[in-house]
Structure 1
Amino acid sequence: MRGEILTLIAERGLVAGDQLPTEQVLSAHFGVSRATVREGLRLLEQDGSVRAVQGRGRFLSAVGDLRVERPVTRYESITDMLEGLGYSVTSAVLDLQEAAADETEAAALGIAVGDDVIRITRLRCGDERPLVVSVDTVPRHLLPGPIGHRDWSGSLTHALKIQGHEIVSSLAQLSSVMMPEGLADRFGLADYDPWLLVTETCMTVDGTRALFAKDYHRGEDIAFNVLRRA
């Protein structure tokens, strides 16, 4: 929602000092709850893009008037990100399993070690070039039904939203890594090192930890932008 509000700001040509539409107007515009809109606005206030004035509303700040293309603070699905960069995206499921959560997954998702999860490994290609390898883990109860009856090549973010678990934020860590040997050897990816690894826990508006993702981005093709302030 944060990104959608920023897109709306850009489309309407708002500049520093301009007032944003109210929560009610934004809720109707995007077709989402006011709670979802409020969370997006809270994130914009948190990073200084928007300032709230008691009794008057919310206004675009000088920071919010700066246009940072695909900022690292923006949460979006891998497919949306790659399409936004101009790639024609294809997705291949490399591995899919119902499994027991290991210690890392359990800690990230706030569940117990051994709880049921869905673990899926996918390769995203852009214009037939390998660009992103994703290893995603979702608590099993959030995506009910037989796993064989679902198209896993699409967006997990969208699949969770359909089930009532819309992701609005994530806590992420970025690091430059070599592809783990198990993945590199198994799927023939050893020749594409190094990778930019984004490890993140994705949360819904009510704080549910809905997705633990380890996304390996091909370093020579993908970069993220950061707005730095004194």
Structure 2
Amino acid sequence: MTTSLNQPAADPQTVPVGGRGLMSVQVRDRLIAHFRENGTKPGDQILSEPEIVELFKVGRSTAREAVKLLEHEGLVEVRPGLGRFLTSLATATVDRPVTRFESVTELLKSLGYDAQTLVLSVEEHQPDAVEREALQLAEGETVVRLVRLRSEGEEPLIFSIDTISRSRIPGPIKYVDWSGSVSTFLRDQGYPLSFSAARLQAVNMPADLKQRYSLEGHDPWFLITETAVTASGEPVLYAQDYHRGDTFSFNVLRR
């Protein structure tokens, strides 16, 4: 999976977790934006490491790692004795790239859906083993589990189960408007999401969920299970989003 200048998204398989590693990802994304804003074309030489250090006020090692990420993704090539140059891959685009990190709210808006959000339940729970590991919770910490359904008219589109550490949510959970974007809510609490590590698979929805929420007859679903992380490396959201398999598709640029 790759990133283009037009779709600068972090690849969850290659993003390192850690201070300097995360900084290099941010500089990588800022370099991509810089190329786009300055009209850098395939074949043009990119900034040198000292120029990156000066422009973004980062250390030499961070600049070097950011450039290595661009090389790994095929956006930049090294020409021995000459320097680093932008490749033609940098201009490639795909519709709905699977590497794009976006909230369900953003996804539906971008696809033109006038979707309604039904909050099916929101409760404080003890985390199960998967949630505890995904959110790196200490013994005794609880979570808020939010179950919602996005639909257009009578047609269900996305069924979501979002799990958030209770410590990230101030005050009583009953006073929170859970019909909006969870990503926006977390950002407003000081936890802006940067990227996610995701698993994608086609599944039949568990029978108990289908029966409880009257979702029979829509198998298979496209399930995205992901842990969303802030730029500082904090895992703050564990999400299971069931997309209608006959409605949604995602694409990838292959090389």
Q: What is the TM-score normalised by the length of structure 1?
A: 0.79
Change in CA separation of 1:151 and 1:25 when aligned onto 2, cut-off 3 Å: farther
Alpha-carbon deviation of 1:222? 0.1
113, 116, 122: which one aligns with 2:148: 122
* Correspondence for 2:244: 218
* Higher strand residue share: 1
**Helix, strand or coil for the counterpart of 2:199?**
strand
* Correspondence for 1:177: 203
Alpha-carbon separation, structure 2, partners of 1:129 and 1:101: 31
Indicate conservation of the 8 Å contact 2:134/2:238, yes or no: yes
Indicate conservation of the 8 Å contact 2:113/2:152, yes or no: yes
204, 209, 230: which one aligns with 1:204: 230
Larger radius of gyration: 2
Ranked by relative contact order (alpha carbons within 8 Å, sequence separation 6 or more), the top structure is 2
Instruction: Give the 5 Å matches for 1:1-230.
Output: 2-3=8-9, 15-17=41-43, 45=70, 48=73, 50-51=75-76, 60-112=86-138, 114-126=140-152, 128-229=154-255
Alpha-carbon deviation of 1:132? 0.5
Change in CA separation of 1:49 and 1:24 when aligned onto 2, cut-off 3 Å: farther
Alpha-carbon deviation of 1:52? 9.0
Alpha-carbon separation, structure 2, partners of 1:42 and 1:188: 50
Q: What is the TM-score normalised by the length of structure 2?
A: 0.72
**Helix, strand or coil for the counterpart of 2:217?**
helix
Residues 109-159 of structure 1: CA deviation (Å, up to 9, x unaligned): 111455211100100113552110000101111121111111101111110
How many residue pairs are counted as aligned between the two chains? 214
Indicate conservation of the 8 Å contact 1:48/1:64, yes or no: no
Change in CA separation of 1:52 and 1:124 when aligned onto 2, cut-off 3 Å: farther
Change in CA separation of 1:164 and 1:192 when aligned onto 2, cut-off 3 Å: same
* Correspondence for 2:81: none
Tell me the C-alpha RMSD between the 2 structures: 3.3
